[in-house]
Amino acid sequence: MSWSFKIGSIAGTAVRIHVTFVLFLAWIFVAGFTQNGADAAWSALAFMILLFLCVLAHEFGHIFTARSFGVPTPDVTLLPIGGVARLARIPEAPGEELLIAIAGPLVNVAIALILMVIAGADLGAGRLAAIDSTQVSMVDRLAAVNLFIAAFNMIPAFPMDGGRVLRAALATKLGHIRATEIAATIGQWLAFALGFFGLLYNPILIFIAIFVYLAAASEAQVVALRAISRGVPVRAAMMTQFATLTADEHIDAAIETLLRTSQNEFPVVDDAHRLIGLLGRNEMIRALKTQGPHARVGDAMNTDVPTISHRQCLDEAFRILREKSAAAVGVVDASERLVGLVTSETIGEMLMVSNALPAGARVGPLSRPANA
Ligand SMILES: [Zn+2]
- 134-177 confidence digits (pLDDT tens): 566 778 888 888 888 888 888 887 778 898 898 888 888 888 78
Please give the pLDDT value at position 226.
77
Question: Measured between alpha carbons, how far is 3 from 77 in angstroms, rounded to an integer?
Answer: 10
* Phi and psi angles of residue 120, each rounded to the nearest 5 degrees, phi first: 65, 35
Q: Which band of pLDDT confidence, cut at 50, 70 and 90, is reported for residue 6?
A: confident
Please give the pLDDT value at position 183.
86
Question: Measured between alpha carbons, how far is 243 from 236 in angstroms, rounded to an integer?
Answer: 19
Cβ atoms within 10 Å of 330's Cβ, excluding its own: 24
% of the chain beyond a pLDDT of 70 = 94
Is the pLDDT score of 323 beyond 60? yes
Mark whether 349 is an active-site residue: no
In this structure, the strands spanning 307-309 and 328-332 are parallel
How close is the Cα of 169 to the center of ligand 1, in Å? 17
Cβ atoms within 10 Å of 210's Cβ, excluding its own: 14
Q: Are 238 and 340 in contact (CB under 8 A)?
A: yes
According to CATH, the topology of domain 234-356 is CBS-domain (3.10.580)
Q: Which band of pLDDT confidence, cut at 50, 70 and 90, is reported for residue 370?
A: low
C-alpha count within 13 angstroms, C-beta hemisphere, residue 188: 11
Please give the pLDDT value at position 372.
45
* Phi and psi angles of residue 279, each rounded to the nearest 5 degrees, phi first: -120, 115
How close is the Cα of 335 to the center of ligand 1, in Å? 46
How close is the Cα of 101 to the center of ligand 1, in Å? 6
Convert the pLDDT of each residue in 266-282 to its tens digit.
999 999 999 999 999 99
**What residues contact residue 298 under an 8 Å CB cut-off, 6+ apart?**
247, 248, 268, 277
Helices (H) and strands (E) in the chain, counts: 14, 12
Find the catalytic residue in 59, 97, 249, 265. 59
Convert the pLDDT of each residue in 330-360 to its tens digit.
999 988 899 999 887 877 787 788 778 777 7
Domain ranges within the chain, ordered by starting residue? 1-154, 159-229, 234-356
Q: Are 52 and 95 in contact (CB under 8 A)?
A: no
Average pLDDT over all residues of the chain? 83
Among 213, 148, 147, residue whose Cα is nearest residue 186: 213
Question: Measured between alpha carbons, how far is 118 from 143 in angstroms, rounded to an integer?
Answer: 11
How close is the Cα of 296 to the center of ligand 1, in Å? 49
CA angle 54, 104, 48 (to 5 degrees): 20
